[in-house]
Every structure is written in structure tokens, then in C-alpha cells.
Structure 1
Amino acid sequence: MMAFISDMMRVLTRDSIRRAVLVCCVPALVFYLLALLILTQAGFTLVEILRDTAQTTGESSFLGFVSSFGAWLWVAAASVAAFRVVVEGRGATGAHRRLALLLAGFSFFLALDDFFMIHDRFLTEGILIPLYILFLYYLIRRFWPLIARVDGTAFLMAGGFLAMSVIVDAVQEILPISYGASQALEEGFKFLGGAGWLYFCTRVAAHRLVVAPVEEG
């Protein structure tokens, strides 16, 4: 026990505490307070903001389960790509870091779009989808040699599934199947595309990443 306390006191240095507070606690607290302030000003109560949707509505916790899990895929992709950027540090340069940074930002926006239904309620798909296509075209034109070296198959697989989701959404009214079946088909392609995108981002984040070994005491 005394050895644990000694190690704990050695770990809790002034620099480590300051870094944890500035990098983690302060941004999290600012986000939390701003969210409460903005949403209360928008007319929501604290209970409505803080409680889960299932608690507020009294519905099953599995309501929208697949949709929510799909948003997690985008968040996870953004996280692993951002991890690569952070690990390489501010001073790092090169195509690999720029690619990881672009993937992190794009994945985060996809998460916001999916979670808040931006393309359904705020910006039409006629605006967002072309922007997504242009961004992917830029990635291919600028980074294709690197993408192919890391895992071109994963990139093309993710893009293919997402493209199929968009196509099904565009033609679902003329498909000879029920609306529920067309939705299942569209969301299935999108889910597979999200999983493929996460896999590709993970491959980019792990590609030739050298991590210093942890010293054991």
C-alpha cells in the first residue's frame, strides 16, 4: 500500500496535473456549461437537457438503437484519426498527419450530421451530398498514393457502401418494395459504410505508428 501511495505521489506532478486540467477538464467544463446555457436559452429545461431521451419520453431504451450506434461509428472514426494527429504532435508535418487531420474533421462532421439530422432538418441533401462527394474527390486526388499504401480497399469499400446508401435513398420511391424495406436497405448500406470508414480511419491511425514502450517498475 505504501508503495502504491509513493508511486501515486510520484505520478501526480505539477506538470501532469496542469496538463490534465488544461487539455481535458477545462474544455469539458466549458462545453458542459455552454451546452446548458445555450439550450436553456433555447427553451429547454435542465431535466430535458440532462436526462436521456428514453427517460424523458418513457419509451424503450432500444428506440433508435441502430441509428445511435451508427453515430457512434462516426465518433469513433473521428477519435482514432484525431489520436494519430495528437500522437504525432504539433511539430509533425507530412501527408500522413494532414490526412489523419482531414479524416478526423470529416468524421466529426458526419457524426454531427447523423446525430442532429442536419441533412434532414437544416441543410438539404442536395447541398450536403455534393459537398461530401467533393471532399472525397479531394482526398483521392491529393492523397490516393498514401491511401492505397495504407489500405485502399477499406477506403473504396466504405465509399462504395455509402454511395449505395445515397443511391437507394434517391430511388426508394420507385423501388418495388415497401418503405420499411427500402429504409432497412438504405440504413444497412450506411451502417456498413460507417463501419468501413471506422476501419479505414483505424488503419490510417495505426499505419507505421511507433509507440514508446512503457517502463515497468
Structure 2
Amino acid sequence: MRKIPETAKPPLRISADGRRRPLAAYLPGITLCMSLIAVLLIVPAAAYISRDYGFFTRDPTQIGNIPRYAGFLSSLGVMAWTVGAAVSLFTGSVLASRSRDVADPRFFLFFGGFTALLAWDDLFLIHENFILGEKPLFLAYGSIALIGIVLFREVFRGASRRFALAAATAFLLSLSVDAGQRLIEGRIGDIRILIEDGAKFIGAVCWAIFLCRSGAASISRCTYE
């Protein structure tokens, strides 16, 4: 078995029995604790806005008494963001403990976290309710993406770069249609919404494909180093 270089070993902590454990070993416990906290927070939240617990736990289509297929494209978009984030964060964790190249794990951890943030935004419509408005938040998202592209530009030169380019093109189209919605909707009507939201959905799918393909290639390369 190939010996992992000292610099490539994951960070360790000393357990109660004196044995060393990787930090990743604590992640399941942390995740469970955060999940429990999320459930317990429903109690004060329900009391604060005078709602029953089901208001926070049931599906929105049930609460709103609307067809279950309402907003299905938006739901699929959140799933695409989530897949990209999960695969990216998993890949970053694996590479952090095995790869000699620190750029790869940092790329996946950076963009995995960023993609998770976008999923959270898309699910809870944070940008539409942001206290400073949409534009400052979109500017912040664009700045984060640009910083990541500059820092990890070598990754974007890989074989899967066409999916990243397709995602960027789709997002720019969606943002452009949103910015000029008054002018565009006056000419093409309700199809403007389909173009805007459809482009965002395709962008999320292309981005998830890019992260999945890049992650698979990085893990494969690390395995055969």
C-alpha cells in the first residue's frame, strides 16, 4: 500500500482513548447536532409568529393548498444546486486527505460552499428579501465567483470547462432578462419568465455537471498518483 506523505495526511485530533482521529470523523456528529437544532428552533419560531408547527414542517404546496407540481422547475433547480454542492464538498474532503496538490481540495471546498449558499438563496428567496435589495447581493455573488475563477483558473482549463462556460452563459442570460424584464415582457409576454427561469435552471444543471465531472477526474487522478 502506498504510504501517504506526511503533508498529505488529514488534520488529526487526539480522542479520549489516546488514538488520533481525522477531523472528518466529527462531521456526522456535527451534522446530527445541527439537524436537531433546526428541529428545536421550530418551537420558538412557531410561538413568535403564532403558527402551528406544521407551518414549518409540511410541504409548501400543502400549506398553500396549491397543486403539488407548482414550481416544479424551481424545485429541480434547488436539487441541481444541492447535488453540485454535495459532490463538490465530498470531493474536497477526500482530496484534502489524499492529494498532494492543495489547489484541488481548496477549489472544491470553495465552490462547494458557494454552491450551497446559492442553493440556500434559491430555496428561501434570500435575494428577493435582502434588506439592501437584489443588486448588492448579486454583486457580492459575482465577486465571490470571480475571486474563485481567478484563484483556481487552472481547474477551469480542464476537459469539463465547456460546462462551466455553458453555466456562465445561461446565468448571464437569466440575469439579463431579469434586468430588462419590463422592456422584454412588453414584447414577448409571459414567455419572458420561462426564458429567465429556464436559463437559470439550465445554468444550475451545467454547473452541477461541471463540478461532478471535475470531482471525478480529480479523485481518479489522485487515486493513481
The normalised TM-score by structure 2 is: 0.77
2:113 is the alignment partner of 1:105: yes
Map of 2:214 onto structure 1: 204
Q: Residue in 1 aligned with 2:54?
A: 47
Q: How many angstroms apart in 1 are the aligned matches of 2:26 and 2:109?
A: 21
User: 1: distance between equivalents of 2:116 and 2:110?
Assistant: 10
User: For the Cα contact (< 8 Å) 1:36–1:49, is it kept in 2?
Assistant: no
Residue number in structure 2 paired with 1:70: 77
Is 1:114 equivalent to 2:114 in the alignment? no
Which range is displaced more, 198-207 or 52-61? 52-61
Give the whole-Å Cα distance in 2 for the aligned partners of 1:22 and 1:101: 17
1:64-213 paired onto structure 2 within 5 Å: 64-90=71-97, 92=99, 93-123=101-131, 124-175=133-184, 176-178=187-189, 180-210=190-220
Per-residue CA shift, 1:125-162, capped at 9, x if unaligned?
A: 21121112212222222222221124221111111110
In structure 2, the CA distance between the partners of 1:142 and 1:37, relative to structure 1 (3 Å rule), is same
1:118 alignment partner, SS class: coil
Sort the Cα spacing of 1:57 and 1:86 in 2 relative to 1 into closer, same or farther, 3 A: same
Q: In structure 2, what is the equivalent of residue 9 of structure 1?
A: none
Identity %, equivalent residues: 28
Cα deviation, residue 91, structure 1: 6.9
Q: Distance in 2 between matches of 1:142 and 1:156?
A: 17
Q: CA deviation at 1:28?
A: 4.2
Distance 1:23 1:129 in 2: 31
- Does the Cα contact within 8 Å between 1:75 and 1:111 map onto a contact in 2? yes
2:68 to 61, 67, 70: 61
AA of the residue aligned to 1:64: G
Residue 39 of structure 1, CA deviation? 2.8
- AA in 2 matched with 1:177: I
Deviates more, 1:49-58 or 1:150-159: 49-58
CA contact (8 A) 2:163 2:209 kept: yes
Unaligned 5+ segments in structure 1 are: 1-14, 213-217
Q: Which has the higher helix share?
A: 1
Q: Larger deviation: 102-111 or 144-153?
A: 144-153
* Matched AA of 2:188: I
- Quote the Cα distance in structure 1 between the aligned partners of 2:171 and 2:215: 21
- RMSD between superposed Cα atoms in Å: 2.5
Question: Does the aligned pair in 1 maintain the 2:96–2:102 contact within 8 Å?
Answer: no
Give the alignment's TM-score, normalised by structure 1.
0.80
Instruction: Give 3-state SS (helix, strand or coil) of 2:219's partner.
Output: coil
